[in-house]
Structure 1
Amino acid sequence: MSDVQRIFTPSSPLPEGRTGLLTPYEPGTRTLPAGFRAGPGFAELPVDVVLEKDAPVTLRDGTVIHVDVFRPAGAEKVPAIVAWSPYGKGQGTSDSVRGVFAMVGLDDGIVSGLEKFEGPDPAYWCARGYAICHPDPRGVVDSEGDSVLWDRQEGRDCHDVIEWLAEQPWCTGKVGMSGTSYLAVSQWFTAAEQPPHLAAINPWEGVSDVYRDLVMRGGMPDTGFAGQLQHGSFFGRGRKEDVLAEAEAHPLMDALWEEKIPDFSRIEVPAYVVASYSNTLHTAGTFRAWHRMASSQKWLRIHASQEWPDYYARENVEDLRRFFDRFLRGEDNDWESTPRVRYSVLDLEGGDRTGIPAEAFPPDGSASTPFYLDARTRRLTPEAPVEEASASYAVDANPDQVSFLLPFEQDTELVGHPSAHLFVEADGAEDMDLFVLVQKLDAQGTPLAEFTVPNHSAIAQDVTERGASILRYRGSDGRLRVSLRHEDDALSNPENPVHTFDRPQHLAAGEVVEVAIDLLPIGLSFRTGQQLRLVISSRNLLGTMMPGIREYVGANQGRHVIHTGGDHPSHLLLPVMGG
């Protein structure tokens, strides 16, 4: 373990709702025959599968963890794919996983129930000559030690598991990784440790900086989802990391949080990265990692839905198999002709386009273009207003926001990284929590949104009315605590402001300061007559990212003043195609 002083809290046993068919500790090897079904409604196994259950793996510090390995029956050696997460390796048939599938509108029958939550399905991969490895990381279920959350320690541990797998008599020595969310994040950390036998990774949406993406986005202690993650997983016999206590004890970026950022410069293996514009937890981190990783063989696909429907869609599984066939099986299948970037452009009225090829993101033809705020007209204009003006709101009033409109006189596409550059003042306070949102309005001025999941039921309407932002896309958002506006000179640029979050700079009475706020990447089309709306507010305009978690309330008082024009050229940078 590193010298960083983490904070731990006692773990608790895996609750009944999180247990599945394979949860009980039952070491040994058995064969699941073709036709085996893990439970009613799940898909059958198409081939005989050997299950090595609860195999012990000793990590470099002597800690023993347990893994399940599914592999094709027979003597042929096969490559392995690791699905690393703390959710319990036997939960595929649990009530909790089935509940998540139901929430997004997926049928249990698209998987076998043998998969790890958010991971590859052994039924599919074993039938095509791959083994699937499900570890319980340190401190989880029956594994020894104290568990940690999204940390370089996990990268070292998974390194050891990969090297253990490569030595198994059934393994070719080629190992990959795949999975969404937590299973994606663990891949950044593992690849940065450069295990010799890691041949390829497939991170499918995941944070890449715990401070900036999970607990302190924009420098604000918005820990609702972190609390759900901490309390709703990492079940085991020992202790688990208390990231909530750490966020309270370490409100600024420091060594503890640096340990929770992978070393992107050391990620050199081939990588097939999948992202979306719509996941307010994962989007920023996925694009960050994609841009900064050192690999010369990296592919990015930006889809137009939520990660679970996208990950288990058969056409996408087949696409991923081509990637792994190339780098884990060594097949000459022309994978390298796949466009390095395939992006989407959302329409929000049924006309989304996906799979658009490009060599980079933003694609060629995308130009970062300023549109200036004018507080007199509440418009966004291509020219900076000469006359100074201001717009303001009381943070505890209704409305507690101001907005600016940009009508489009011709069809326009935005693809890339937007950012807001604002001159602001805190009247009656020394700080301000600012929230920014870019929306699309139809020709009648109505804000547009679309579900990212197949479930459009009445319940889905209810839970997304004021939250559950990852289930329903409403636009590109950003946020910043103004006292933490200092930018990182080495990493920041106008399109992608990067803040150090290490030095508070509070505002004096009457002081106007310039802030740069990064917004989530965007791919959005506008037809003639439609409008873009920029909203600036003292509250989170999208609500919570998932149903049932605590909503963050900004630490605000007094009035927020937005200055425009003259010496205060507040503007929104938009990535205009053909601009």
Structure 2
Amino acid sequence: MQSFPGHYQGYSEAEYDGYELSSRYIPMRDGTQIAIDVFRPTDNGEVVTEPLPVLWMHTPYHRRNYGGGLTAENYPGKALRLLPHGYVVAVADFRGLFASFGTNEGDNRGEWQEHARWDSYDITEWLAAQPWSTGNIGMWGCSATGGSQMQALTVAPPSLKAVFPMSCEWDIYPFASFGGMAPPQGVPTRLMRGGDREARDRMSVPVDGDTERVLLDAAIDEHTDNIETAGYTPFRDSVAENFGNQWWLQSSPHRYKDTIEASGIAIYSAANLDEEGPGYGPAFTFNNLTNPRKFVIGPATHCDWTTVMSETGFDILIEELRFFDHWLKGIDNGVMDEAPVTYYTYNLDRSDIGLPGWQTAESWPLPDQQLTAFNLIPDGLTTESAGEGSEISTQVDYEINNDNFWEKGIQFTTDLLSHDMQITGHPVLHLWLSSTAKDADVVARIDDIAPDGTATYYTVEGRLRASLRATEPAPYDNLGLPYHPFTEDSQEMLQPGEPVELAFDFYMMSNVFKAGHRIRLTLNFADERTTPRVSPTPENTLHFGAETPSRLILPVIPAAPM
């Protein structure tokens, strides 16, 4: 038998040949009816009657249809594909969305309203009480449905034994605000854009027996009171104008840490290297809890484990099956005895050990990281002294976007690397800056420059608004990174012409920069979506060396012995 990351043989064979789909409403504690689909395995066309563990997902994205097929089969996590191994699978619409009754506040983050937080408890315990259930319940899903697993952890249903949240949140504000770079009033943040209620309602699917859509139409009538967005919430402690609560704090799982830990629920968090902000949550979830836990970091973009499988052979569904088999069926498959962190490194060639690209570790950040300072100088990045003070000035360009970022940015590049260099973890930039304006936005990116000049960008980005540069001790394990309170009281405007230090981290990365390549840092000072425009257009100045040592700290990993 085999059981190690990405491999599972001899423990849990597929034994069921199909499924039966049924749907119905189930009541919450306040009487609200939630629509749920339930898939039960069949054997030779007959529904299996023996009790089985249940895997369910709580979704704002339509319980029935996703990606041209069934949500349970196509949405990242794809739990329906685990059903043949002896699981019941279920998917429920958020309250106030699609076929569920009630009202929703916050669209795909509506589970964090107090009246909705307990829905996950009630749904879990309803599933546990059914005659076809063993009473052992797990959850699956990615992004908003990774967040709905975190929501369930905050109410700790006693029958919930294990969750597999991909791209979940821990402290939502830094991601939601682009590092404090909240857009001007009237422009919603990327997480609170709101949805199209009428379009959702048109796609809604009735539950079994509601052939005349009487129940569905009644549910849709209740949706007219939905509030799609929190409204203007520029600071971490802002009271949302549409909700009347401190929305970013209320919807951040770190505020419920004690409840989550007391539950003892097992957690396998997952992230992708190229997904920007959502990659934060799984790392912090892993580091901040004492629950039985594991952490996997794959390549590709947000929730795109299909590409991970096709390009590297690593199947996230195998990890789900190993994990749920252990925690919901009691199978002793060793999944919790191995190194808890599995991560992918771009450009890593370890075919000699049979794990090309994939590595394991006992902790995150990696225990052997060497935080190495690369000093910024006017024409590059160097581990040597930055020398005497110097500076570069540039006028802010408000038209910065993903297409012209590198063309318009200020660039700092290392000399040719003399040897392969693995950088895995969270880079940090300490940047000394002054401006003719009272505020400034900084957007920084790291990429890999090949000998022929070709640049490869692995979505390694950091951002900070200068007026929110203040740091303080974090209320949780912040992985040794700068923690910004991002509160209104912590705001401190720039004094024109006076240099200040900005310290901020980047999205996590894991990349081998090959010998003969260069590491490049590119800086810009606006984002067309979030940066307020002022007149006259400001001029920003970067300061180097002497009393203003701008530097990029990279987590360098020593070469493994061959």
TM-score interval, smaller chain:
0.7 to 0.9
2:23 & 2:278 partners in 1: Cα distance? 32
- Name the residue aligned to 1:358: 361
Report the 3-state secondary structure (helix = DSSP H, G, I; strand = E; otherwise coil) of the residue aligned with 1:498: coil
Q: Is the Cα–Cα contact under 8 Å of residues 65 and 138 in structure 1 kept in the other structure? A: yes
Q: Deviations over 1:484-503 (max 9, x none)?
A: 11223135879512211103
Report the 3-state secondary structure (helix = DSSP H, G, I; strand = E; otherwise coil) of the residue aligned with 1:226: coil
Report the 3-state secondary structure (helix = DSSP H, G, I; strand = E; otherwise coil) of the residue aligned with 2:30: coil
> CA 1:139–1:406 in 2, change beyond 3 Å: closer, same or farther?
same
Q: Is the Cα–Cα contact under 8 Å of residues 303 and 354 in structure 1 kept in the other structure? A: no
Q: Is the Cα–Cα contact under 8 Å of residues 484 and 504 in structure 1 kept in the other structure? A: yes
2:290 & 2:495 partners in 1: Cα distance? 42
CA drift of 1:287 comes to 2.0
- Indicate which of 491, 508, 523 corresponds to 1:504: 491
Does structure 1 residue 413 correspond to structure 2 residue 409?
A: no
- Name the residue aligned to 1:242: 228
Q: Is the Cα–Cα contact under 8 Å of residues 440 and 475 in structure 1 kept in the other structure? A: no
> CA 1:174–1:251 in 2, change beyond 3 Å: closer, same or farther?
closer
- Indicate which of 503, 511, 515 corresponds to 1:516: 503
- Indicate which of 57, 66, 69 corresponds to 1:83: 57
> CA 1:507–1:315 in 2, change beyond 3 Å: closer, same or farther?
closer
- Indicate which of 484, 509, 518 corresponds to 2:468: 484
Q: Is the Cα–Cα contact under 8 Å of residues 59 and 144 in structure 2 kept in the other structure? A: yes
2:80 & 2:363 partners in 1: Cα distance? 34
> CA 1:278–1:223 in 2, change beyond 3 Å: closer, same or farther?
farther
- Name the residue aligned to 1:289: 285
2:141 & 2:16 partners in 1: Cα distance? 22
- Name the residue aligned to 1:118: 75
- Name the residue aligned to 1:391: 392
Q: Is the Cα–Cα contact under 8 Å of residues 180 and 311 in structure 1 kept in the other structure? A: no
> CA 1:61–1:493 in 2, change beyond 3 Å: closer, same or farther?
closer
Report the 3-state secondary structure (helix = DSSP H, G, I; strand = E; otherwise coil) of the residue aligned with 2:516: coil
> CA 1:116–1:144 in 2, change beyond 3 Å: closer, same or farther?
farther
Q: Is the Cα–Cα contact under 8 Å of residues 387 and 545 in structure 2 kept in the other structure? A: yes
One-letter identity of the residue aligned with 1:327: W
CA drift of 1:563 comes to 0.7
> CA 1:396–1:219 in 2, change beyond 3 Å: closer, same or farther?
closer
Report the 3-state secondary structure (helix = DSSP H, G, I; strand = E; otherwise coil) of the residue aligned with 2:470: coil
- Name the residue aligned to 2:259: 266
- Name the residue aligned to 2:208: none
- Name the residue aligned to 2:159: 197
> CA 1:191–1:137 in 2, change beyond 3 Å: closer, same or farther?
same
- Indicate which of 435, 444, 447 corresponds to 2:452: 444
2:140 & 2:384 partners in 1: Cα distance? 47
- Name the residue aligned to 1:547: none
> CA 1:152–1:518 in 2, change beyond 3 Å: closer, same or farther?
farther
- Indicate which of 423, 426, 433 corresponds to 2:441: 433
Q: Deviations over 1:463-484 (max 9, x none)?
A: xxxxxxxxxxx44101111101
Does structure 1 residue 186 correspond to structure 2 residue 148?
A: yes
Q: Deviations over 1:62-103 (max 9, x none)?
A: 3221211111222210111111111111113xxxx23xxxxx
2:418 & 2:532 partners in 1: Cα distance? 36
Report the 3-state secondary structure (helix = DSSP H, G, I; strand = E; otherwise coil) of the residue aligned with 2:467: helix
Deviates most, 410-419 or 495-504: 495-504
Q: Is the Cα–Cα contact under 8 Å of residues 372 and 555 in structure 2 kept in the other structure? A: yes
2:135 & 2:452 partners in 1: Cα distance? 60
Does structure 1 residue 536 correspond to structure 2 residue 523?
A: yes
Q: Is the Cα–Cα contact under 8 Å of residues 445 and 531 in structure 1 kept in the other structure? A: no
Q: Is the Cα–Cα contact under 8 Å of residues 339 and 357 in structure 1 kept in the other structure? A: yes
1:444 & 1:223 partners in 2: Cα distance? 41
CA drift of 1:115 comes to 1.8
Does structure 1 residue 47 correspond to structure 2 residue 31?
A: no
Does structure 1 residue 369 correspond to structure 2 residue 377?
A: no
2:474 & 2:316 partners in 1: Cα distance? 36
- Name the residue aligned to 1:148: 105
Q: Is the Cα–Cα contact under 8 Å of residues 73 and 79 in structure 2 kept in the other structure? A: no
> CA 1:499–1:446 in 2, change beyond 3 Å: closer, same or farther?
same
Q: Deviations over 1:234-277 (max 9, x none)?
A: 655413333262436x6754522210101234334211111122
CA drift of 1:382 comes to 1.7
> CA 1:60–1:380 in 2, change beyond 3 Å: closer, same or farther?
same
> CA 1:493–1:140 in 2, change beyond 3 Å: closer, same or farther?
closer
> CA 1:116–1:204 in 2, change beyond 3 Å: closer, same or farther?
same
1:397 & 1:147 partners in 2: Cα distance? 36
- TM, length-normalised to structure 1: 0.76
Report the 3-state secondary structure (helix = DSSP H, G, I; strand = E; otherwise coil) of the residue aligned with 1:436: strand
Q: Is the Cα–Cα contact under 8 Å of residues 438 and 476 in structure 1 kept in the other structure? A: yes
1:136 & 1:397 partners in 2: Cα distance? 40
CA drift of 1:363 comes to 1.8
2:372 & 2:56 partners in 1: Cα distance? 42
- TM, length-normalised to structure 2: 0.78
- Name the residue aligned to 1:567: 547
Q: Is the Cα–Cα contact under 8 Å of residues 76 and 304 in structure 2 kept in the other structure? A: no
> CA 1:537–1:554 in 2, change beyond 3 Å: closer, same or farther?
farther
Report the 3-state secondary structure (helix = DSSP H, G, I; strand = E; otherwise coil) of the residue aligned with 1:115: helix
Deviates most, 300-309 or 404-413: 300-309
Q: Is the Cα–Cα contact under 8 Å of residues 169 and 278 in structure 2 kept in the other structure? A: yes
> CA 1:371–1:123 in 2, change beyond 3 Å: closer, same or farther?
closer
1:439 & 1:554 partners in 2: Cα distance? 27
Does structure 1 residue 226 correspond to structure 2 residue 191?
A: yes
> CA 1:354–1:307 in 2, change beyond 3 Å: closer, same or farther?
farther
1:168 & 1:90 partners in 2: Cα distance? 21
- Indicate which of 127, 150, 164 corresponds to 2:84: 127
Deviates most, 226-235 or 337-346: 226-235
> CA 1:337–1:493 in 2, change beyond 3 Å: closer, same or farther?
closer
- Name the residue aligned to 1:422: 431
> Once superposed, which parts of structure 1, at least 4 consecutive aligned residues long, lie more than 6 Å away?
348-352
> CA 1:267–1:243 in 2, change beyond 3 Å: closer, same or farther?
same
One-letter identity of the residue aligned with 2:130: Q
Q: Deviations over 1:130-170 (max 9, x none)?
A: 11111111101222222134326344211111111111111
> CA 1:169–1:350 in 2, change beyond 3 Å: closer, same or farther?
same
1:493 & 1:122 partners in 2: Cα distance? 32
2:274 & 2:532 partners in 1: Cα distance? 22
- Name the residue aligned to 2:403: none
> CA 1:494–1:210 in 2, change beyond 3 Å: closer, same or farther?
closer
2:411 & 2:478 partners in 1: Cα distance? 25
CA drift of 1:516 comes to 0.8
Does structure 1 residue 71 correspond to structure 2 residue 67?
A: no
- Name the residue aligned to 1:381: 382
Report the 3-state secondary structure (helix = DSSP H, G, I; strand = E; otherwise coil) of the residue aligned with 2:123: helix
> CA 1:517–1:121 in 2, change beyond 3 Å: closer, same or farther?
closer
Q: Is the Cα–Cα contact under 8 Å of residues 148 and 241 in structure 1 kept in the other structure? A: yes
One-letter identity of the residue aligned with 1:430: K
CA drift of 1:228 comes to 5.6
2:384 & 2:456 partners in 1: Cα distance? 27
Unaligned runs of 5+ in 1: 1-44, 99-111, 450-473, 541-549
Q: Is the Cα–Cα contact under 8 Å of residues 446 and 461 in structure 2 kept in the other structure? A: yes
> CA 1:251–1:400 in 2, change beyond 3 Å: closer, same or farther?
farther
